[in-house]
């Protein structure tokens, strides 16, 4: 299971070389070494960013992949490398495309040395008693803020275990699979739910769009259901509550 990667969209716009070096060349090195060690099955952490600006919703795995930032492009190339090694070395692979993973489980959360995702950002703002900053309010969406799909980290972990078991049982996958809920929420809706769950009642402040951010990314999980017998079990409210509970416990 290959989880290692650089993951910040905004940073990738300023440091594309680092993203291609780590996410593409790094993946090539790991995949090639895996083949040399006679590894037969390979699970890659991929991303919704491979799709770029969606032409329709929900996104399906056979939709066009036209990334709008180096992060998405670097991960798509890693998927293509796996497909090549399928042809040359009969490697059985799957690229699990994440859609905004969040939440926490059993005392483990996203304790990164940086903040790039919305729920950790909201927690940080709450701790600092600062307003919520929403990047962009002029997207072509009902409330003008970007819409995303959110998936609980426990659901994502379960998908990896299901994929691994299918592969160990001899099932051939050799394809990307979305891990999303098919239920999109705007940034404003996430902020409002955060205030509801935590009781923080932080004010909202609108800023400029982030470079490279598409207006909508929502996933179909039909392939995940068919190939892995997977469906998400947790909604946005549960995601925020678990993330919040972990954050509070960590501070004690």
Task: Please give the positions annotated as active site.
Answer: 71
Which residue pairs from 85-90 have beta carbons closer than 8 angstroms and sit at least 24 positions apart in sequence?
A: 85/31, 85/32, 85/35, 85/42, 86/174, 89/35, 90/40
CA distance 252 to 249: 5
Q: Residue 130 has which token pair? A: 């600062």
Pair type for strands 92-98 and 184-186: unpaired
CA distance 237 to 103: 10
Phi/psi region, residue 131 (left: phi>0; alpha: psi -120 to 50; beta: rest), is beta
**By C-alpha distance, which of 101, 129, 104, 126 is closest to 116?**
101
């Amino acid at each position: 299971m290959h989880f290692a990667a650089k993951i910040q969209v905004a940073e990738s716009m300023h440091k594309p070389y680092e993203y291609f070096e780590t996410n593409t060349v790094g993946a090539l090195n790991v995949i090639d070494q895996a083949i040399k060690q006679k590894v037969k099955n390979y699970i890659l952490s991929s991303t919704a960013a491979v799709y770029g600006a969606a032409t329709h919703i929900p996104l399906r795995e056979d939709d066009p992949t036209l990334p709008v930032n180096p992060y998405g492009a670097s991960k798509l190339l890693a998927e293509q490398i796996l497909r090549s090694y399928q042809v040359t070395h009969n490697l059985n692979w799957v690229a699990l495309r994440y859609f905004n993973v969040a939440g926490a489980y059993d005392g483990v959360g996203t304790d990164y040395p940086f903040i790039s995702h919305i729920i950790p950002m909201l927690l940080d703002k709450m701790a600092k008693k600062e307003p919520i900053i929403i990047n962009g309010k002029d997207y072509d969406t009902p409330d003008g803020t970007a819409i995303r799909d959110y998936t609980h980290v426990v659901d994502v972990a379960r998908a990896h275990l299901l994929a691994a078991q299918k592969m160990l049982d001899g099932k051939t996958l050799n394809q990307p699979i979305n891990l999303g809920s098919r239920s999109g929420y705007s940034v404003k809706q996430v902020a409002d739910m955060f205030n509801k769950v935590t009781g923080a009642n932080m004010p909202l402040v609108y800023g400029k769009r982030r470079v490279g951010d598409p207006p909508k990314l929502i996933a179909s999980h039909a392939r995940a259901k068919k190939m892995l017998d997977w469906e998400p079990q947790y909604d946005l409210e549960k995601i925020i509550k678990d993330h919040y509970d972990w954050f509070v416990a960590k501070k004690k």
